[in-house]
Amino acid sequence: MATYAIGDIQGCFAPLQRLLTRIHFDPARDKLWLTGDLVNRGPDSLAVLRWAHALGPAAVVVLGNHDLHLLARWAGVAGARRRDTLDAVLAAPDAPELLAWLRRQRLLYREGDLCLVHGGLLPQWTLADAERMAREAEAVLCGPAGNALLAALPRQHAEGPDAVARYLPFVAAVTRLRTCNASGHPCDHFNGAPAAAPPGCIPWFEVPGRKSADVTVVFGHWSALGLYIAPGLIGTDTGCVWGRELTAVRLEDREVFSEPAFPLNV
């Protein structure tokens, strides 16, 4: 039995299938931790969603920003973006089942001293704090205020129910965080390499005194960072949707397995 963390798939179904063959994945024996952004910008988000849904307990999924955007479009509270590739999902006959399943997925998952999240954890949060907020925010997403929360995420400005204002910063952080300043305030809209971060902004995991440093955080979202393995950190987004590769990290021993976005000519 092995557990593999796989970085942002984003509709890249063909390299995903090659990667699963490479690691000899067996859903009866092994488990996958999917770091979010199952969908969008890649060519086959519908196939990825159907595959993940069919895995049942063999997969742990956390929501990413693109997954939330898909849910917002399905709910009618967000419009299409220029690079969206979600129309096939929204038009599929099984879309109601798939998107109801997606909406029930977690924002954060913890197992022992491992934590799975899409973006990151603000340095002022203990893991216990983040777990508590995740469970509460997940309940909001699946409840009457869920659509208002989805609608508020792109602007990160809350209007409407108090629950939206309360949990909007949390959901934005766990699905979008890359860098923040020394006081733990996110540096919004930056997606480049760490060395290109705005003045005063550093990777969220490098802030001195980070309160979640006692666990290993498995995350995706930051393709410009690429594969990042350090004590207490496993970053898995290696930019498959940008033509690079899709990566799985075996959590038991940190062994890395990668497949290029496009098959190599032999």
Tokens of residue 215, six digits: 């666990």
Count of C-beta atoms within a 10 Å radius of residue 221: 26
- Tell me the whole-structure pTM to 2 decimals: 0.95
* Cα–Cα dist 37/31, whole Å: 18
Q: List Cβ neighbours of 139 (8 Å cut-off, separation of 6 or more).
A: none
CATH number of the domain that residue 45 is part of: 3.60.21.10
Supply the mean pLDDT for the chain.
Answer: 95
The pLDDT of residue 14 is: 97
> Are the CB atoms for 120 and 64 separated by under 8 Å?
no
The pLDDT of residue 141 is: 97
Q: Specify if 266 maps to a domain.
A: no
The total number of structural domains in the chain stands at 1
Per DSSP, the residues of 149-179 read HHHHTTTT---SSHHHHHHHHHHHHHHH--E
> Are the CB atoms for 229 and 237 separated by under 8 Å?
no
* pLDDT tens, position by position, 129-159: 999 999 999 999 999 999 999 999 987 655 5
Count of C-beta atoms within a 10 Å radius of residue 256: 13
* pLDDT tens, position by position, 199-223: 999 999 999 999 999 999 999 999 9
Q: How confident is the model at residue 264 (pLDDT cuts 50, 70, 90)?
A: low
The kind and range of the H/E element at 28 are: none
> Are the CB atoms for 56 and 84 separated by under 8 Å?
no
Question: Domain residues for 193?
Answer: 3-260
Q: Specify if 265 maps to a domain.
A: no
* pLDDT tens, position by position, 83-101: 999 999 999 999 999 999 9
The pLDDT of residue 156 is: 61
Tokens of residue 150, six digits: 């989805």
The pLDDT of residue 266 is: 40
The pLDDT of residue 154 is: 82
Q: Specify if 243 maps to a domain.
A: yes
* Cα–Cα dist 93/88, whole Å: 10
Q: Specify if 193 maps to a domain.
A: yes
Estimate the crossing angle of helix 95-103 against helix 65-75, to 10 degrees: 130
Q: Specify if 171 maps to a domain.
A: yes
Q: Specify if 244 maps to a domain.
A: yes
* pLDDT tens, position by position, 17-50: 999 999 999 999 999 999 999 999 999 999 999 9
Q: How confident is the model at residue 161 (pLDDT cuts 50, 70, 90)?
A: low
